[in-house]
Each structure stands twice: as structure tokens, then as C-alpha cells.
Structure 1
Amino acid sequence: MKKHLLSIVSLMLLSGLAIAQKAKKEIVFFEDFNQKTLDRTKWNVEITGNTVNDEQQAYIDSAATIYLTNGKAEGAKNGALILSALYKPGHMSKEGKKYDFVSGRINTRDKLMFTYGSASIRMKMEDGAGLWPAFWALGKGKWPDCGEIDVMETVGDGSWVSNALHGPNYFGNTPFAKRDTFAQGTDVTKWHIYSVDWTPTTLTFKVDDKVTYTVTKAMIEKYGRWAFDNPKFLIINFAIGGGYPNSINKVTQPYYGLSQQSVDKIKAGKAKTIVDWVLVTK
């Protein structure tokens, strides 16, 4: 209880009215990245095994691709997590596959597993065709039967982000996907709060506390089993190129789903996803 009270006070001081309102609920998990290095008691760092979706990056455990900034860097309320995509031609995975790009992916598997509640993230990112950061939740077990909740995805068009759900008989080009276009004057490169409210019968997605998409259990069951009654873990990753970006931008050169302009941003060290905080409440 003392830990929860302390977290509530910290949240109210750090993050303003929106977070203060969320803090009235029980805090299941809160991370403001206010340390020198990533807290490995909360986060696992993933290393590429088998690349999916024709993505062009390898995920590595490196301070060059996953690091924290101290203080109010980049406009964060406190510390911030940086996932940085880098050009590293000829990088070889332990499976013997070569990549020209490396990046970062972290998750809370077996450290935070939750069923129902609200999951939120405050983040901003670089835009550019094929730059593909995401914040999502996944169950353990075989995909897609385990259920996937995509709270925020962007494939480089800074004017919109998307939400999606994947499960048995509704995956891949799922019928449960929705784009949300930003109001004029803002885009993915600005700070936004992306969230999902998850109940036993609904999933409601929001951007800056505005509802963007709601999916009900009845809607899902027209296609397949409702795969959202099991514990999920959180994932934050920064993918490069691949099938989803290609389906939007139609780029095949110089890399599948990744434009030359985006390659130039990566080479210049400008391809970054920045996370202020992550919060789960019930």
C-alpha cells in the first residue's frame, strides 16, 4: 500500500491532470525511466531470433540502441527511454543471418503480466516511410491464439497511428484495425499519450484520452474466439521496414518497406523512439 501511495504522489507531480486521474485507480505498474540504465527487474531486452514480417532490423542488447536519458531531456517529464535505430551493415545474428540495421525491443514478459485494466504510454518518435515503432501487449503461447493488442503503431506516415487486435481467425490483415488521424498541427513527432482500456468484454483505444476505436467481444466472436481473458505482457519496439510498412508505402528499394529518405535519417542518427513513461492501472 505504501508503494502504491508513493507512486500516486509521484505521478501527480510528474505528469499532470491526465495521470492524476488515472492514479485514482490501483497502480499495477509504473515506469518513468528515471534511472541511469534500464531496470532489468521490470524489462527484458529481446535479441533477434527469427525475424518476422520481413523486417529489416536485428534487435540487439546494446547501450547504443536502448538507453536512458537523465532529467527532462527531449521534453520528458522526468527521465526518458530511447530506442535508436542504427545503420550497421553486415551485422550477423547468432542464427547466421545478416542485417544492415539494428534496433531495440523490450518487454515485461514474466515480470509484468496483467489481465484487464488500462495500459498507457507517453511517447514521441521520428517519422519516415518504414520507421515502425509500436507499443503493444501479447499473451504467452502460440500466436495468434494468445491474443495481441496493438495500442500504437506507426509505419512512418506521421499524420496517423493505428490500433489493431489479432487472435484466432482474425490476424494478419485483421478486420480489427483502425487508423486515427491527428488534428492539424500535430503528428507522431510530438508527445502523445496512447492507451487501451481493457475489460472482459471491450477494448477501447485512446489517443490523448480521446477514444479512437472500440472493439467488443460480440464483434470479435463473429470471426473467432475472444483471446483477451488471459494475462498479457507489454512490448515496446522499433522495427525497420517490413510487410506492414510496405503495404502502405509500396517501397521495395533500397529496402523492403523502407525508403531512402528513412535510411538517410537512420544513418544520421535521427531515427529514435522516445518514451517518457509507461503506466498500467486497474
Structure 2
Amino acid sequence: MKPYSILLSVALLTAVHANAQHRAKADTVFFEDFNEQNIDRSKWNVEVTGNTVNDEQQAYVDSAATIYMVKGKAAEGAKNGALVLKALYKPGFTSKEQKKYDFISGRINTRAKMEFTYGTASARMKMAAGAGLWPAFWALGNGNWPDCGEIDIMETIGDSSWVSHALHGPNYFGDTPLVYRAHFTAGIDVSQWHIYSVDWSPASLIFKVDGKVTYTVTKPMVEKYGRWAFDNKKFIILNFALGGGYPGGYNKIKQPYFGLSENTVNKIKAGNAKVLVDWVLVTKNEKQQ
């Protein structure tokens, strides 16, 4: 073996060993593989809402039509199965608050069942594109919003070429200055499987797509606008919203629904507005204590 080959082999072995040590130091706080018949309610709360927020067009319901598991071919490449959040056209749906909606969808969270402070939260997801489709993977603190702090790990509002990351807290909420659009390269979009994650430490939040750093926010950056709201426990949320302020502000669509195009409504009617989640993982290592 030539000397440079020996050096290369040593370097590779060193890198592999270091990576193995890193994995060994990372403790799993939470893991959900979505490989059961039904949603595991010891881990997840299914939200039911009948009051509109953000001018969204859907009501969240507890239904196997909007929140369910798939396996095999229906899992679209998720080896052990996947969670599906599906939006449905249900004109005239009336919530218990007597509010009327034309759409229903799904939203789940881990509030009081799994809450964590610092660590890495990640999810492998794929989703339909369409103007006004607004799925999200995020973390939220308990208490009054926005003081409790919100970490938007992944949001997409229908433009399949990018996802956004954002932080909300006191004096930096709504149209927050702490937001970033992470654009995919040509030929890649949200309809393909991707891993969305955030590394959360006492000093920063580092957002990644498929392991590549896309946006970094430090504590001093946040404190230019308001109090750092990221030293308290957060719980995970997965939801599939339709229309509303964020999509509508971007696509300027007002008809047939605020933020939802006619093409998107037709996609929902055809049963093609879905979000698939392969897994959700929360880990913590020594540096994130």
C-alpha cells in the first residue's frame, strides 16, 4: 500500500470513530416511527379546533379520514410506514363552536407527553405542493403566545421550491424578522422526502435541511428584537393548515378562498392534498445540555 493510501485509510478510520463517538453521546429523548395501526395517543394529542386563527380555512378534527397510518406502497418510500395528515373538502362542516368551514384537516402535538429543552428535533417528511397548502413541523412552549417562544423548523406554503424556518417570541412575532427561506436546488422540491431539523442550544438555533445548515440564529441576534424565549420546555407539533395569512400574504390569492388557489382546491377535492411523516426524532448530546 502506498504511503498516501495508508494516511487516507487512517483518516477515514479516525472520522468513522469520531462519528460513532458522537452518536454514542447523543441520547434519544423521543422517537416515533409511525409504524403502528393507529396514532399512539400515549405520545400524541390530536387537536380539535373550531375557532379560526391566522385566517386559515380549515377546522382540525379527530378523524381517521384526516389522520391515519399507511404502510407498503401507500407509504411512498417510508420503509416502516408513515403518518398521513390529509386535507379534505367538507363544505358546511360545523364545529362545536358553531363555526362553519369548507375544509377539515389534521394537527397533532406532544404537549404534556413529551416536552424538551435543548437538543436536536428532526423529522423526515414529504408533502403535496399547491398554492396555500401550509403544513408545518414546529415546537412551541407552554403559556401565552408569543412569550412562550415558537420554533418553526419547517413550513411550506405551496411554493415547492423552498421551505421556511422562523422564530417567534416577544416583539418578534407574526411577520417576524427572524425568518429564512431555504431554497432547494434544481430538480428538488418539497414533494420528495427530506429531513428537516433544528439544533437547539442555550446560545443558538441551527436549522438544517438534509443535514445541511440553512439558517443560524444566535441569542444576540434574537435579543436585538426582544427577550430570548428559548430556554423553556417545548413540545412538538405537526399540522396541515390551508390558506390564511402566511400563504395569502405571499400568493395574494383571495378567491375562491383566502390564500388558496382554485387549482389547490381541486387538488384537495381530488384527495391529493397530503403530508407524509416517516419519523420524528428528538435527541440531546453533551453540548446541548
Q: Same fold judged by TM-score > 0.5?
A: yes
Measure, in 1, the Cα distance between the counterparts of 2:76 and 2:144: 38
Aligned residue identity for 2:149: G
Measure, in 1, the Cα distance between the counterparts of 2:241 and 2:95: 16
Aligned residue identity for 1:99: Y
Measure, in 2, the Cα distance between the counterparts of 1:197 and 1:135: 14
State the percentage of identical aligned residues.
73
Query: Is 2:41 aligned against 1:48?
Result: no
Structure 1 stretches of 4+ with a deviation exceeding 6 A read 18-21
Displacement of 1:51: 1.6
Query: Is 2:166 aligned against 1:161?
Result: no
Measure, in 1, the Cα distance between the counterparts of 2:270 and 2:239: 20
Q: Which residue of 1 aligns with 2:71?
A: 70
Query: Is 2:275 aligned against 1:276?
Result: no
Q: Which residue of 1 aligns with 2:114?
A: 112
* CA deviation vs aligned residue, 1:209-249 (integer Å, no higher than 9, x gap): 00000000001111110000000000000000000001110
Aligned residue identity for 1:51: T
RMSD: 1.5
1:235 counterpart (229, 234, 237): 237
Displacement of 1:79: 1.2
SS in 2 for 1:118: strand
Q: Which residue of 2 aligns with 1:141?
A: 143
**What residue ranges of structure 1 are gaps of 5+ in the alignment?**
1-17
Measure, in 2, the Cα distance between the counterparts of 1:22 and 1:62: 38
Q: Which residue of 1 aligns with 2:28?
A: 27
* CA deviation vs aligned residue, 1:92-118 (integer Å, no higher than 9, x gap): 000000000000000000000000000
- Structure showing greater radius of gyration is 2
Measure, in 1, the Cα distance between the counterparts of 2:153 and 2:136: 8
Provide closer, same or farther for how the CA distance between residues 199 and 246 of structure 1 changes in structure 2, counting only shifts above 3 A. Answer: same
TM norm structure 1: 0.92
Measure, in 1, the Cα distance between the counterparts of 2:182 and 2:223: 24
Aligned residue identity for 1:52: V
Query: Is 2:147 aligned against 1:151?
Result: no
Measure, in 2, the Cα distance between the counterparts of 1:23 and 1:60: 40
Displacement of 1:252: 0.2
Provide closer, same or farther for how the CA distance between residues 144 and 19 of structure 1 changes in structure 2, counting only shifts above 3 A. Answer: farther
Aligned residue identity for 1:61: D
Measure, in 2, the Cα distance between the counterparts of 1:125 and 1:136: 15
Query: Is 2:126 aligned against 1:124?
Result: yes
**1:191-270 counterparts in 2 under 5 A?**
191-270=193-272
Q: Which residue of 2 aligns with 1:102?
A: 104
Does the 8 Å CA contact 1:124/1:189 hold for their aligned counterparts? yes
Provide closer, same or farther for how the CA distance between residues 98 and 88 of structure 1 changes in structure 2, counting only shifts above 3 A. Answer: same
Measure, in 1, the Cα distance between the counterparts of 2:226 and 2:62: 37
Measure, in 2, the Cα distance between the counterparts of 1:239 and 1:98: 16
Displacement of 1:70: 2.5
Provide closer, same or farther for how the CA distance between residues 23 and 195 of structure 1 changes in structure 2, counting only shifts above 3 A. Answer: farther
Provide closer, same or farther for how the CA distance between residues 264 and 22 of structure 1 changes in structure 2, counting only shifts above 3 A. Answer: farther
1:190 counterpart (189, 192, 198): 192
SS in 1 for 2:239: strand
Aligned residue identity for 1:234: I
Displacement of 1:24: 5.2
Measure, in 2, the Cα distance between the counterparts of 1:131 and 1:78: 26
Query: Is 2:59 aligned against 1:58?
Result: yes
